[in-house]
Structures are given as structure tokens and as C-alpha cells.
Amino acid sequence: MSRTHGGRNALVLVAALFAFWQVVYWIVGDTALSSPLDTLAYTAKLVASENFGMHLFDTMRAFAIAFALSVAIGLAVGFWLGFDRLSGDVLEPMIVTVYAIPKLTLYPILLLAFGLGLSAKVAFGVLHGVIPIILFTLAAVRSTKPILLKTGHIMKLSRLQMIRWILFPAAVPEIFTGLRVGFSLTLIGSLLAEMFASQRGLGYLLMTGIGLHNIEQVMAVTLLIVVFAAAVSTILLQIDRRLHRNARNL
């Protein structure tokens, strides 16, 4: 019942956003904005064009590597800080603070360190995505029910066995939330890196769109990015909610 409601809400919302866009188009006019239909048509043309595949591939490659690294580093650091009470207490507030700084200003440092190209983009994506994964994993490990840990101790599990059979399964819903947030932030990070300095990718297409005053291109790429991000995030959110519901029912 609630699921059909959710679907209806999302549909109403999308329709309302498109209506809003059309109304703004009527007010602002052709010079600054292209209409929803024109944008969709241009998007179709853009996606079919020959170079687009290269730009998309470039963005997706940087994003995929960055996300894989974020997950690996985030889980490792998160489990460590969750286990080791003292390190966790010392470092957690510092990591939270780093979360709130405008990381875009750090990008020049990354560019100087990694050079203009894939590795700088990946590093910037990781910088954005790794922190929520660390924080959620840490919280998940710490909030594991003590009785589960005690059972593990009684069974004389080693540290690795403890992670494999007790902590990880118990922490999965929370960790998944971290991965969901980390996914969006990594995407944002990689795109921002491309907007600031790169020769390829969707972010680069956005910036050349401005340079050439090609409004349709700017809007088409923005639309693609927004639709992709919103769609993936909605799917992840559904899985996330189901995991949490199942965990509660245990």
C-alpha cells in the first residue's frame, strides 16, 4: 500500500517539476532557457552523437574507480575506528569537521599532486565519498548489540571471524546507508572535478556549453546528470529502507 503511494508521489512530483520548468520557460523565453520538449529532443541527439560515449565513459570510469576506492577505504577505516574505542573517540569529531569544509578549495592541491587527469578526478571523488562511509560504518559497528558480541566471545571467534560472522551482518543496514550517501557524494565530487579542470567528461561538456553559450547543451547535460543521480538514489533508498525494516523485524 505504502509503496504504491510512494510511486504516485514520485510521479506527481516529476510531473510538477516538468510543469514548473515549462512555466518558467514561458516567462523567461528562448534566449535563456530551452523548453522541456526541446531539451529532451536535444538530449536524445546528444546521447546519439559520436563523442558523447567518450565523455560519458570518462566520467563513469573516474566515478567507478573513485567509488570502489571510497568503499574499500571507508569500510576499512570505519571498522578500525569502530573497534578501537580510543582512536574512534579521537578521530571521529575531526572527520565530522572535515565533512563540513568546502572541499572544492582543496582541488588545486590535488591537481598539483596528481596532475590534470584521471587520478586527480578519482582523488577528488574519494575525498567526497569516503567520509560518510567511514562515519556510518563506525556508528554501525559501535551500535552492534552487546549480546551478539558476547556470544562471539563465548564462541572464541577471532577478530576476523567476528567481523565476518557478527559485526558485518549486524551492521549491514547502517553500512548500506553510508554507501548510499557515499555514492551520491562521490558522483558529485567527480563531476565537480570535471567542471573545474578537465578535458573530457560530462562536467567538461557543461562548462564548454557555457563557453559556447550553448543553452541546449547545458540543459541537456544537467538533465542527464539529475535524472541519473535521482534515479540511482531512489533505487538505493528503497533497498536501504527494506534493509532497515528487515533488521527491525529480527
Q: Which residues bind another protein (CB under 8 A)?
A: 5-6, 9-10, 12-13, 16, 28, 32-33, 86, 89-91, 93-94, 96-97, 100-109, 111-113, 183-184, 187-188, 191-192, 195-196, 206-207, 209-210, 213, 215, 218-219, 221-222, 225-226, 229-230, 232-234, 237
What CA–CA distance (Å, rounded) separates 189 from 191? 5
Compute the CA torsion angle 64, 105, 228, 17 (nearest 10 deg). Answer: 170
Q: Which is nearer to another protein, 47 or 210 (CB)?
A: 210
Q: How far is the CB of 28 from another protein (least distance, A)?
A: 6
Q: Which is nearer to another protein, 152 or 240 (CB)?
A: 240
Q: Which is nearer to another protein, 28 or 54 (CB)?
A: 28
Q: Which is nearer to another protein, 30 or 159 (CB)?
A: 30
Q: Which is nearer to another protein, 75 or 185 (CB)?
A: 185
Q: How far is the CB of 178 from another protein (least distance, A)?
A: 14
What CA–CA distance (Å, rounded) separates 198 from 195? 7
Q: Which is nearer to another protein, 162 or 206 (CB)?
A: 206
CA distances from 240 to 9, 119, 133, 164, 178 (A): 19, 30, 14, 21, 10
| Cell of residue 246, nine digits | 528487515
The CB-side HSE value for 203 (13 A sphere, CA atoms) comes to 19
What is the rounded end-to-end Cα distance, in angstroms, of the chain?
22
Q: How far is the CB of 49 from another protein (least distance, A)?
A: 19
DSSP string, 67-106: HHHHHHHHHHHHHHHHH-HHHHHHHHHHHHHHHHS-GGGG
Q: How far is the CB of 192 from another protein (least distance, A)?
A: 6
Q: Which is nearer to another protein, 104 or 157 (CB)?
A: 104
Q: How far is the CB of 222 from another protein (least distance, A)?
A: 5
With CA atoms as reference, report the closest residue to 208 among 46, 97, 89: 46
With CA atoms as reference, report the closest residue to 59 among 182, 192, 184, 179: 192
Q: What is the 3-state secondary structure (H, E, C) of 195-212?
A: HHCCCCCHHHHHHHHHHC
Q: How far is the CB of 67 from another protein (least distance, A)?
A: 13
Q: How far is the CB of 153 from another protein (least distance, A)?
A: 27
